[in-house]
């Protein structure tokens, strides 16, 4: 008898055993200036993130197009104007676009009105680049404040990829019988947490050493193996300035090749996975978000 | 150092493994102070343990035929009773780990008694058993805790770091029937894998360790313990070390230990009963050496 999830016919389309979603967080200068606008004079530090726009993003786009991998790029709305031509290229290559707020806001520190304004501004900005109606939202950082799911839907976003805590998508209750599909991730599948480093301001906070490239790739491959075993959904988060260096693009190539060579993976955009999952009857009363709604109704809505 | 250790385990087994999991779920300091109710993402990340990871671990243990001990805060038992019943039905043990994972050092004696009594009542009502084992939630216990454990019928604690095999504890100057089964930090998955964005954990947002290197450390710890004829227990948290990929590592670790062949896999209560029925084979340890040192110095 199996208690954990196991590969189930029909869980994913096209008879595929498991799903893989490759996402790119394109923050450019807002990685630094979103949380703290007063750092605008730190040109050298800002250049870390400009590297992502200049070299990293084109290198990632090439890796994806060589392999025919559809991806989803999360962009703060305020970057649409300064980086319009790059984002047009992303969209023209068939990748999905989503928003991480307007300026990588901490939504848990904003008033309800400021949340709403940021979400609407971000949705409008993404709408300038793509006519797609199923645009995703990713919480930049911090906690998920009560009522945010409803606000995300009201602003015209179709789905989210903001939570951890599950191996397949689930439905975040939004009140009034509505729900927001989330395509959750894990912290292992994240290039910036493994590799980003800066002297001042310190990144990461404790300035631990840059991780071993081979070890990180092996971690990713082990999570892929675990995902394959049970027929789950694996979400990778990449950042152009991190994964798009000449030395690290090799990890992206090898990970994607490992995904593709099994022939069992449904490699899909976040939007495709979310809309597929929307046909599910729901997360079930035993899902932790439903438990949270029962024990602490004010935590979510 | 290649000398065969004095045999202390049943059937001439060379070493003992008490595989143990702390099923904290979303409990912990944020639930004790109530801040968890404003942190839905942290709640769901913690709930992954009983929701997804424990079922995966039960499958794994069944495949490999190994018993384990699960220390479960009784808040988790209240909210995931079916998962906890499945732990017992699968032949494993459940032990006490606080109600909301309280730090015993922070509780008064009546508060500690209240957590113990409330938790035992929940265990009895939901699972039909009382806990016989105890593992300190969040670090240290209170100086009165061991006496309270003995008075409340606990047979063992698995909390300390001060030996590589179990011992009988001296409480209030007398040898008690409370067994301590020390748990080394090298086998605590928090030291390798735990990560939360906000509040940051680890505090400096250190990298998540390499799975391969972690497995290698764990296997070396087991190999050394087996050589020394000791007892190895783990402080594995399902939400941390039983994600899909880390469960592959966990499986390889258990396979490595099973392959050795002459290792006794036991639950905490089985270990404690063995110690109590063979007192001549195990040490008796005082409360702390520190008071004595201090008294001599004054």
Q: What is the value of ipTM here, to two decimals?
A: 0.97
Q: Report the sign of the C-alpha dihedral through residues A136, A108, B191, B29, in that order.
A: negative
Q: What is the DSSP letter of A211?
A: P
Where in chain B are the domains?
A: 28-297
- Selecting from A5, A143, A194 the residue whose C-beta is nearest the C-beta of B39 gives A143
Tokens 């899902």 found at:
A287
The answer to whether the bond into A201 is cis (omega within 30° of 0) is yes
| Nearest Cα residue to B234 out of B191, B281, B286, B279 | B191
Q: What is the DSSP letter of A114?
A: H
Encoded tokens for B124: 């009895």
Q: Quick check: A222 and B249 CB within 8 A?
A: yes
pLDDT for B197-231, tens place per residue? 888 999 999 999 999 999 999 999 999 999 999 99
- Output the tens digit of pLDDT for each of chain A's 301 residues: 689 999 999 999 999 999 999 999 999 999 999 999 999 999 999 999 999 999 999 999 999 999 999 999 999 999 999 999 999 999 999 999 999 999 999 999 999 999 999 999 999 999 999 999 999 999 999 999 999 999 999 999 999 999 999 999 999 999 999 999 999 999 999 999 999 999 999 999 999 999 999 999 999 999 999 999 999 999 999 999 999 999 999 999 999 999 999 899 999 999 999 999 998 777 789 999 999 999 999 999 9
* Chain A residues within an 8 Å CB radius of B247: 226
CATH code of the domain occupying B28-297: 3.20.20.370
* Shortest Cα–Cα distance, A248 to chain B (Å): 17
Q: Quick check: A289 and B40 CB within 8 A?
A: yes
Tokens 């993130």 found at:
A49
What's this model's pTM, rounded to 2 decimal places? 0.96
Burial class (CB in 10 A: 0-12, 13-18, 19+), B191: middle
* Shortest Cα–Cα distance, A94 to chain B (Å): 30
pLDDT band at B296 (very low <50, low <70, confident <90, very high): very low
Question: What residues have CB less than 8 Å from A79, skipping those under 6 apart?
Answer: A26, A27, A28, A30, A87
pLDDT for B262-290, tens place per residue? 999 999 999 999 999 999 999 999 765 55
* Shortest Cα–Cα distance, B24 to chain A (Å): 14
Q: CA-to-CA distance for A113 and A281, rounded, in angstroms? A: 32
The answer to whether A82 faces chain B, any CB pair under 8 Å, is no
Instruction: Evaluate whether B161 touches B184 at the Cβ level (below 8 Å).
Output: yes
Q: Quick check: A206 and B206 CB within 8 A?
A: yes
Residue of B nearest to A220 (CA): B245
Encoded tokens for B230: 């000791």
Q: What is the DSSP letter of A2?
A: -
Q: CA-to-CA distance for A165 and A86, rounded, in angstroms? A: 33
Per-residue HEC secondary structure of chain B comes to CCCCCCCCCHHHCCEEEECEEECCCCCCHHHHCCHHHHCHHHHHHHHHHHHHHHHHHHHHHHHHCCCCEEEECHHHHHHCHHHHHHHHHCCCEEEECCCCCCCHHHCCHHHHHHHHHHHHHHHHHHHCCCCCEECCCCCCCCCCHHHHHHHCCCCEECCCCCCCCCEEEEECCEEEEEEECCCCHHHEHHHCCCCECCCCECCCCCCCCCHHHHHHHHHHHHHHHHHHCCEEECEECHHHHCCHHHHHHHHHHHHHHHHHCCEEECCHHHHHHHHHHCHHHCEEECCCCHHHHHHHHC
CATH code of the domain occupying A13-295: 3.20.20.370
Q: Quick check: A300 and B40 CB within 8 A?
A: yes
- In a 3-state reduction of DSSP, which class is residue A301? coil
- In a 3-state reduction of DSSP, which class is residue A218? helix
pLDDT for B37-55, tens place per residue? 999 999 999 999 999 999 9
Where in chain A are the domains?
A: 13-295
What pLDDT does residue B198 have? 87
């Amino acid at each position: 008898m199996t208690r954990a999830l196991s590969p189930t016919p029909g869980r994913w389309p096209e008879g595929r055993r498991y799903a893989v979603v490759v996402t790119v967080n394109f923050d450019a200068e807002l990685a630094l200036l979103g949380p703290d606008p007063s750092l605008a004079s730190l040109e050298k530090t800002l250049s870390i993130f400009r590297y992502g726009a200049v070299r990293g993003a084109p290198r990632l786009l090439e890796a994806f197009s060589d392999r025919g991998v559809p991806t989803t790029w999360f962009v703060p709305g305020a970057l649409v104007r300064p980086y319009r031509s790059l984002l047009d290229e992303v969209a023209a290559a068939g990748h999905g676009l989503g928003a991480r707020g307007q300026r990588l806001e901490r939504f848990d520190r904003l008033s309800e009105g400021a949340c709403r304004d940021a979400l609407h501004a971000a949705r409008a900005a993404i709408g300038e680049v793509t006519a797609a109606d199923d645009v995703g939202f990713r919480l930049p950082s911090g906690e998920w404040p009560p009522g945010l799911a409803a606000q995300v839907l009201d602003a015209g976003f179709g789905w989210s990829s903001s939570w951890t805590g599950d191996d397949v998508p689930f439905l975040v209750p939004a009140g009034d019988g509505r729900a927001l599909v989330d395509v959750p991730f894990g912290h292992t599948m994240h290039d910036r947490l493994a590799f980003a480093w800066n002297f001042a301001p310190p990144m990461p906070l404790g300035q631990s050493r840059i991780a071993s490239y081979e070890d990180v790739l092996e971690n990713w491959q082990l999570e892929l193996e675990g995902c394959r075993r049970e027929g789950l959904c694996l979400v990778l988060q990449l950042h152009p300035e991190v994964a798009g260096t000449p030395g690290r693009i090799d990890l992206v190539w090898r990970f994607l090749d490992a995904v593709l060579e099994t022939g069992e993976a449904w490699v899909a955009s976040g939007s495709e996975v979310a809309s597929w999952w929307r046909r599910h009857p729901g997360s079930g009363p035993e899902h932790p978000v439903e438990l949270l709604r029962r024990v602490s109704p004010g935590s979510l809505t | 150092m290649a000398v065969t250790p004095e045999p202390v385990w049943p059937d001439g087994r060379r070493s003992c493994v008490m595989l143990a999991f702390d099923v904290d779920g979303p409990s912990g300091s944020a639930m004790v102070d109530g801040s968890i109710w404003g942190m839905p993402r942290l709640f769901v990340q913690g709930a992954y343990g009983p929701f997804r990871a424990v079922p995966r671990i039960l499958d794994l243990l069944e495949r490999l035929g190994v018993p384990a001990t699960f220390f479960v805060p009784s808040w988790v038992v209240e909210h995931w009773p079916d998962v906890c019943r499945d732990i017992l039905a699968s032949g494993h043990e459940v032990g006490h780990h606080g109600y909301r994972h309280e730090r015993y050092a922070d509780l008064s004696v009546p508060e500690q008694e209240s957590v113990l009594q409330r938790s035992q009542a929940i265990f009895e009502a939901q699972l039909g058993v009382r806990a016989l084992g105890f593992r300190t939630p969040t670090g240290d216990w209170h100086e009165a805790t061991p006496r309270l454990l003995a008075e409340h019928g606990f047979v063992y604690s698995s909390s300390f770091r001060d030996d590589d095999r179990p011992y009988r504890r001296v409480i209030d100057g007398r040898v008690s029937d409370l067994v301590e089964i020390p748990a080394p930090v090298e086998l605590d998955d928090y030291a390798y894998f735990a990560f939360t964005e906000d509040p940051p954990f680890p505090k400096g947002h250190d990298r998540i360790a390499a799975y391969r290197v972690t497995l290698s450390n764990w296997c070396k710890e087991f190999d050394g313990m087996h050589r020394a004829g000791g007892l190895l227990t783990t402080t594995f948290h399902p939400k941390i070390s039983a994600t899909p990929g880390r469960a592959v590592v966990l499986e390889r670790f258990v396979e490595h230990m099973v392959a050795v062949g002459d290792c006794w896999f036991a639950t905490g209560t089985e270990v404690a009963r063995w110690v109590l029925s063979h007192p001549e084979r195990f040490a008796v340890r005082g409360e702390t050496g520190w008071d004595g040192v201090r008294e001599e110095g004054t």
